[in-house]
Structure 1
Amino acid sequence: MMYLPEKPNMERWAEMPFIVQMANIGSEVGRTFKWKRKGNENMAKGAFVRALDLFDLTIAVGRISEPFSLRGSMLKEEIRARDQFCEEYLSEDNDALLLSDKYFSHFAKACALRSSL
């Protein structure tokens, strides 16, 4: 049986900076990759669904606080990353998720640097 947590809180999520949202998505992407490589489909599927929830929430809240000129670009990037993640997850290659894991690791590093300043 797969455990799925409650849906994230939209108001709280909307208050987070984009970089923090992406780092949180990256945590679930990394878990998905880890469990898929280990062959634990239930855990991989749970992390995959949680990542999709966070992707969808990020897309839904939009980038209202960002300058209008950046909103479209950020939304395109988010949708492109979500599509790539889904494609990699559905791949027969257990290492396919490495690309998304590397991509999101940059957000985690940037988030860590940001909080240390």
Structure 2
Amino acid sequence: MNIVHKELAAGRWAQMSFPEQMANIGSEVSRALNWQKKGNEAYMKKAVYRALELIDLSLKSAKTYPRLKEVARVREALVDFFFFENEFSSTEKLWRKYFDAFAIVSRNSRI
């Protein structure tokens, strides 16, 4: 798989705060949810793959075990939701609510 976020992979990602990382992942997940709703599976998959790339960058840069565990679980649940049987019973609303919280924290920390 080609790296889409080359600048972030080069080290900028590790300099971001955890809420900033999760908010950026949430942007890609939101795009995937929007494409899924529109029935465009190809674009949905591309957005999910971009989100997974960012998640993998977060896993590599995780500084504490709880963060590592949370990000790994998010990855597992996202893959299950978009590509498998949704054993975790995730919903679009749940994903939006989860990632929106990080976007709000990230935005408020910049003010």
Same fold (TM over 0.5): yes
Query: TM-score, structure 2 length as denominator?
Result: 0.84
Which residue number in structure 1 is paired with residue 4 of structure 2?
A: 5
The alpha-carbon distance between structure 1 residues 54 and 11, as it changes in their structure 2 partners (threshold 3 A), is same
Displacement of 1:84 in angstroms is 1.0
C-alpha distance in 2 between matches for 1:48 and 1:78: 15
Larger radius of gyration: 1
Check conservation: 1:21, 1:58, Cα contact below 8 A. yes
Aligned positions of 1:1-117 closer than 5 A: 5-7=4-6, 8-63=8-63, 71-90=64-83, 96-116=91-111
**Superimposed CA distance per residue, residues 82-103 of structure 1 (whole angstroms, 9 cap, x where no aligned partner):** 111111112578x833322221
Number of matched pairs: 105
**Superimposed CA distance per residue, residues 42-92 of structure 1 (whole angstroms, 9 cap, x where no aligned partner):** 1101100000000001001222xxxxxxx1111111111111111111257
C-alpha distance in 1 between matches for 2:94 and 2:79: 12
List gaps (5 residues or longer) in structure 1.
64-70
Query: TM-score, structure 1 length as denominator?
Result: 0.80
Displacement of 1:16 in angstroms is 0.7
List gaps (5 residues or longer) in structure 2.
none
Displacement of 1:5 in angstroms is 3.1
Give the helix-richer structure, 1 or 2: 2
